[in-house]
Chain A
Amino acid sequence: MNKQAESQPGHPQQPTHLPATSPLQAGQPPLLEWHDVTVAYGRRPVLWHIDLTITTPCLYGIIGPNGAGKSTLLKATLGLVPTAGGRVQFWGQPLAAVRPRLGYVPQRETVDWDFPVNVMDVVLMGATSRLGWFRRAGRRERELARACLDRVGLADLAGRQIGRLSGGQQQRVFLARALAREADIYLLDEPMAGVDASSQEEIFAILAGLRDAGKLVVAVHHDLRTAARWFDAVALIDMRLVAAGPTATVLTSSNLQQTYAGRLGILDELSDAVARGDRTS
């Protein structure tokens, strides 16, 4: 639908630390690809025709206002909400074939932080998630979990109840849990929300480290100032894809105007009508 939607690997303004990418090599499918994805809650569509391709490992930002459908996009990508149309492919394969290679960090407020587990317990959830039925955590999983806690700088807090952590520490626990999955694609929902500036830098450094190790990191983000600095490429979303591509070309004032100020009342109205099973006025 949108010509800019295709990310452009060879674009001249691409940040230099991206691998010097050739255009898509023949026979090598893109890392992550959304084909005309539409998502509805009940009968109300909240995301329309997302058509987006990520070809190289990078830090990819999903940006848009509240209620734009960013979380929904991640959930649909992971099969947590059904799509009403379209498909998502990873390395050219469907979700079921690649699930162990994906790590997910949900929005922090989606869980109850008073839940009776400690930091280590949470990271172990990630470390053991590949074990099948009836298997329990062993030495390898424990060591992996400990190493991941170390990477996010929380090794000292392994025994602490999660409710007694600061927001930034909670976010890093979630990150450690995803790291413990040893994934190749990471999908993070607002990893910087409710995190103080210095923790944000630390989290960003960890994400950049993943990118440098050849992983794809897709993060939902809402702060435009930091987005411009952190992400190699971004997609602007507001119920539909507004623009996508290298950060500098996408975060233009006219695109932002479209995303943040000029929500298409048309889609809103249409969603309501579709939900009612009715016509718009």
Chain B
Amino acid sequence: MMATWVSATPWEWLAAIGPMHGWAVATAAVVSACCAMVGTVLVVRRLSLLGDAISHAVLPGIVVAVLLGGRPGDLGVLVGATAAALLTVALTEFFHKQAGLPEDAGVGVAFTTLFALGVLLVTVSGSRIDLDPGCILYGILELVPFDTVEVAGWEMPRAFVSAVVVFLVVGSGLWLTWRWQVFTAFDTEAARAAGVPTVAVTVGLLAGVSLATVAGFEAVGAILVVAMLVVPAAAAELLVKRLHHCLLLAVGLAVMGAAAGYLLAWKLNTSAAGMMAVVLGGEYLLAVLVAPQQGVLARGMSSVLYAWRVQCEDRLAAAWRAEEAGQSAPLPASLVAAAAWWWLRVQGRVEPAQSGARLTSQGRRDAELIVRSHRLWEAWLGRHAELPVDHLHPPAEWIEHHLGTRLRQRIEADLGRDVRDPHGSTIPPERG
């Protein structure tokens, strides 16, 4: 057993798990792909909360459809649920616009009410329908393979067939209206001004959300379907910067999360839906860590690099000042300073001398620019900010690492020729 676990290819894996689990994984993957597609647009429109609402509000629609003779997983049930979802949205709009409730509260009121109604319907109708409140919350992915229909001579799980239909409908709908989805999501008012039917676009999106949600309902339940809508999309938005890339990546993350989650749950003998949501959460955490710009690692890295540059430049400037005063360069006073020193030597900006080290001609030029920046800033602040002379050094220590050639020249022009810094030192000229 352990051997298969470690060394098998995914293909052998699937074969080892057997067709029943295979169907469950496939259903979960298609369902989460549906959710991730619509979720991407929902997340960038900052409508995640509405996704949450819809995922709950579809319940009464499902129950009514089942009471009317539909079976869970049937397309008729999908339609009923979608109607219920759109009703939630309409109610939300009503509470917001007419009753003056804040929008988020409107969402809260509408969906909790409808969800509660659904739960009541389930319990009241009791034995007449085979919906179990537990399944509604947590899904019944493990049972999906046992309720099958025949499609073109193949026997397939009913839920899988519905999920594929939803995938095709939602996918082609998004594909065909993509241009308008992006415009509406980015700038609804300009889109409307340009004649884009933004209301239809939004209703279409929300219908897609409810379809995806209902498809996901049976697999993972009302609570975790929200994770599928929101989490892969949110992770993808951190990682890539164009909406269709976000969508494709979100789908990839969702499918991976669903498959990995199911298999892990099977191995650890725990809830498949729960494990899938946990894996998706893990993917999100990973994205937060490795995201290219706002990521924890990227930001950590850039602040480490910044601190290092400051350290090196400070050493250079200190050596220059010592030279100016006719002394030898000060010895590094800390481990970091020593490392910076060593690095400057590797770069050929300082070289060993009898009494420690001295600047090379390259190092001298670089150092001069830093000292120049420092003194220019002190002089400029001294003129334009009402600061006592002894308060000028700290800001200059900071800004010296940020001034470029052009701004230095502007500052110099502003100060006029032959200025000295407020402590009386000369300001070195620009020599690139």
Chain A positions within 8 Å of B, measured between CB atoms, are 75, 78-80, 99-100, 102, 104-106, 110-112, 115-118, 121-122, 124-126, 128-131, 133-137, 161, 177, 181
Residue-wise interface mask of B (184-196) relative to A, using a CB-CB cutoff of 8 A (1 in contact, 0 not)? 0111011111111
Determine if A102 and B193 form an interchain contact, defined as CB atoms under 8 angstroms apart.
yes
Kindly list chain B residues whose C-beta atoms are within 8 Å of the C-beta of A110: 187, 189
Determine if A116 and B195 form an interchain contact, defined as CB atoms under 8 angstroms apart.
no
Kindly list chain B residues whose C-beta atoms are within 8 Å of the C-beta of A106: 187, 189-190, 193
Determine if A78 and B243 form an interchain contact, defined as CB atoms under 8 angstroms apart.
no
Q: Which of B179, B182, B185, B242 has the most CB of A within 10 A?
A: B179
- Tell me, in angstroms, the Cα distance from A122 to B242 when the chains sit together: 11
Interface of A is mostly: loop
Determine if B242 and A117 form an interchain contact, defined as CB atoms under 8 angstroms apart.
yes
Determine if B44 and A116 form an interchain contact, defined as CB atoms under 8 angstroms apart.
yes
- Tell me, in angstroms, the Cα distance from A224 to B240 when the chains sit together: 42
Kindly list chain A residues whose C-beta atoms are within 8 Å of the C-beta of B177: 133-134
Determine if A125 and B187 form an interchain contact, defined as CB atoms under 8 angstroms apart.
yes
- Tell me, in angstroms, the Cα distance from A75 to B188 when the chains sit together: 12
Q: B176 on the interface (CB 8 Å rule)?
A: yes
Q: Using a CB-CB cutoff of 8 Å, which residues 156-190 of chain B contact chain A?
A: 176-179, 182-183, 185-187, 189-190
Q: B329 on the interface (CB 8 Å rule)?
A: no
Q: B237 on the interface (CB 8 Å rule)?
A: yes
Kindly list chain B residues whose C-beta atoms are within 8 Å of the C-beta of A117: 182, 186, 241-243
- Tell me, in angstroms, the Cα distance from A259 to B293 when the chains sit together: 45
Determine if A111 and B186 form an interchain contact, defined as CB atoms under 8 angstroms apart.
yes
Kindly list chain B residues whose C-beta atoms are within 8 Å of the C-beta of A112: 46, 186
Q: B370 on the interface (CB 8 Å rule)?
A: no
- Tell me, in angstroms, the Cα distance from A110 to B191 when the chains sit together: 13
Residue-wise interface mask of B (179-215) relative to A, using a CB-CB cutoff of 8 A (1 in contact, 0 not)? 1001101110111111110000000000000000000
- Tell me, in angstroms, the Cα distance from A131 to B192 when the chains sit together: 14
Determine if B178 and A126 form an interchain contact, defined as CB atoms under 8 angstroms apart.
no
12 residue pairs of the A-B complex, CB under 8 angstroms, read A80-B189, A80-B193, A104-B189, A110-B187, A125-B190, A125-B191, A126-B194, A129-B183, A130-B195, A131-B179, A134-B176, A134-B177
Determine if B194 and A181 form an interchain contact, defined as CB atoms under 8 angstroms apart.
yes
Contacts A78-B193, A111-B187, A125-B186 known; A116 to B241 CB distance under 8 Å? yes
B305 nearest CB across to chain A (Å)? 19
Kindly list chain B residues whose C-beta atoms are within 8 Å of the C-beta of A99: 193-195
Kindly list chain B residues whose C-beta atoms are within 8 Å of the C-beta of A100: 195
Kindly list chain B residues whose C-beta atoms are within 8 Å of the C-beta of A105: 190
Kindly list chain A residues whose C-beta atoms are within 8 Å of the C-beta of B186: 111-112, 115, 117, 122, 125
